[in-house]
Amino acid sequence: MPAFSARAPGKIIFFGEHAVVYGRPAIAVPVEQVQARAVVIPDPIAPRGRVWIQAPDINLDCALGELPEDNALRQLIQLLQAHFKIDHLPACTLRVSSSIPVAAGLGSGAAISVACLRALSAFLGAPLVVEHVSALAYEIEKIYHGTPSGIDNTVVAYAQPVYFVHGQPIEFLSIRQPLTLVIGDTGRSSPTSGPVGALRQAWLENSQPYEALFDRAGEIARSARADLEAGTISHLGRLMDENHALLVQMGVSSPELDHLVSAARVAGASGAKLSGGGWGGNMIALVEPELAEQVSTALLESGASHTLITQVRP
Ligand code: MEV
């Protein structure tokens, strides 16, 4: 019997994280160098409902029923069964692996959900269309991140640069000129729910200053979109710097992120900012292609646990 496999890329938020949770626009792009992969191997002998889960990256090798009720894969399979109105999956092994660092702002959770939903629905003989993949992955995001905007599951499911506003039709960005980004990992994992929850608490206590920060972040995302679509990218670095300053004021940066952001600028990046939830995880720097290695080395020397050079292509 054939196996059913699917992949999904990582992502970075180029502009507008956090403000996007409050209805402002944001820009995200897929990162194809890191991927989540799911493989479903049908078991023609075992009875229906006997699903075995293997996730060697996290030393998981057990029956689905042995996972805690709130485990993400268990929730995902329940959601998929409800979607297809079935009580059990046919017997199979679901093998999940990922090269996307976990809790690092690179969309690892969304990518695992998307890859699993695709592989499992193909196994069921009814491959989900991308809208449904994204919508179901969003349901999983809600369980784990509290109040997600939906940007992570969208960019990962569609695997295209998106200009995203919560609740509005997805707009894809046509980027005119290739861009080189260096991604630097603080090495500190930070689940998105931490900074998202703390910011919500602060906003509930005193919304006005945060609304002003979100408004400005939204304006930055709008300008960045215009620049990306026109191919006039000379202001993008400055916009990233300003976006980072706003994220600092929102309380979602960290000393490690600020340190890497400054190191990238000193090493010649046109601009730099944290990317994703913050408090840890990754930052991104926009660079001229010939400076990419230099900026990457500077980040490693400044404490980054690893770096990745990626191109955003038209
Ligand atoms: C996380 O990648 C982006 C955040 O804006 C959260 C969200 O939009 O759901 C921090």
Output the residue whose Cα is nearest ligand 1's atom 1.
276
- CA 140 to mean position of chain CA atoms: 13
pLDDT of residue 154: 98
Cβ-Cβ contacts under 8 Å for 42 (sequence gap 6 or more): 1, 2, 3, 4, 90, 91, 92, 123
Beta bridge partners of 96: 38
Output the residue whose Cα is nearest ligand 1's atom 2.
276
Q: Are 36 and 139 in contact (CB under 8 A)?
A: no
Whether the model pTM is above 0.85: yes
Flag whether pLDDT at 9 surpasses 90. yes
Closest atom of ligand 1 relative to the 11 alpha carbon: 2
Q: How far apart are CA 43 and CA 106, in angstroms?
A: 33
* Span 269-289, average pLDDT: 97
pLDDT of residue 56: 92
Flag whether pLDDT at 102 surpasses 90. no
Cβ-Cβ contacts under 8 Å for 63 (sequence gap 6 or more): 50, 51, 52, 53
Ligand 1 centroid – CA 159 distance (Å): 17
Active site residue ranges: 152
pLDDT band at 109 (very low <50, low <70, confident <90, very high): very high
253, 258, 260, 261 alpha-carbon torsion, rounded to 10°: 100
pLDDT of residue 58: 87
Q: How far apart are CA 224 and CA 27, in angstroms?
A: 8
Q: How far apart are CA 28 and CA 127, in angstroms?
A: 25
pLDDT of residue 146: 77
Q: How far apart are CA 278 and CA 247, in angstroms?
A: 8
How many other C-beta atoms are found inside a 10 Å radius of the C-beta of residue 208? 7
Phi/psi of residue 116, each to 5°? -65, -45
pLDDT of residue 258: 98
Q: Are 23 and 166 in contact (CB under 8 A)?
A: yes
- Residue pLDDT, tens place only, 193-247: 999 999 999 999 999 999 999 999 999 999 999 999 998 888 999 999 999 999 9
Report the percent of the chain where pLDDT is more than 90.
Answer: 91
- Residue pLDDT, tens place only, 131-140: 999 999 999 9
- Answer whether 199 contacts ligand 1 (Cβ < 6 A): no
- Site to probe by mutation for ligand 1, drawn from 29, 192, 244 as the one with most ligand atoms within 8 Å of Cβ, is 192
pLDDT band at 95 (very low <50, low <70, confident <90, very high): very high
Map tokens 């699903």 to a residue.
Answer: 51
Flag whether pLDDT at 144 surpasses 90. no
Closest atom of ligand 1 relative to the 141 alpha carbon: 9
Measure CA of the first residue to CA of the last residue in the chain; give whole Å.
39
Ligand 1 centroid – CA 148 distance (Å): 6
Closest atom of ligand 1 relative to the 28 alpha carbon: 2
pLDDT of residue 39: 98
Flag whether pLDDT at 125 surpasses 80. yes
- Output the CA–CA distances (angstroms, integers) from residue 57 to 4, 31, 35, 49, 96, in the order listed: 20, 20, 13, 24, 8
- Answer whether 17 contacts ligand 1 (Cβ < 6 A): yes
The strand order across the sheet containing 306-312 reads 271-274, 282-287, 179-185, 306-312
Q: Which two tokens stand for residue 14?
A: 């180029």
- Site to probe by mutation for ligand 1, drawn from 14, 17, 189, 200 as the one with most ligand atoms within 8 Å of Cβ, is 17
* Span 54-83, average pLDDT: 94
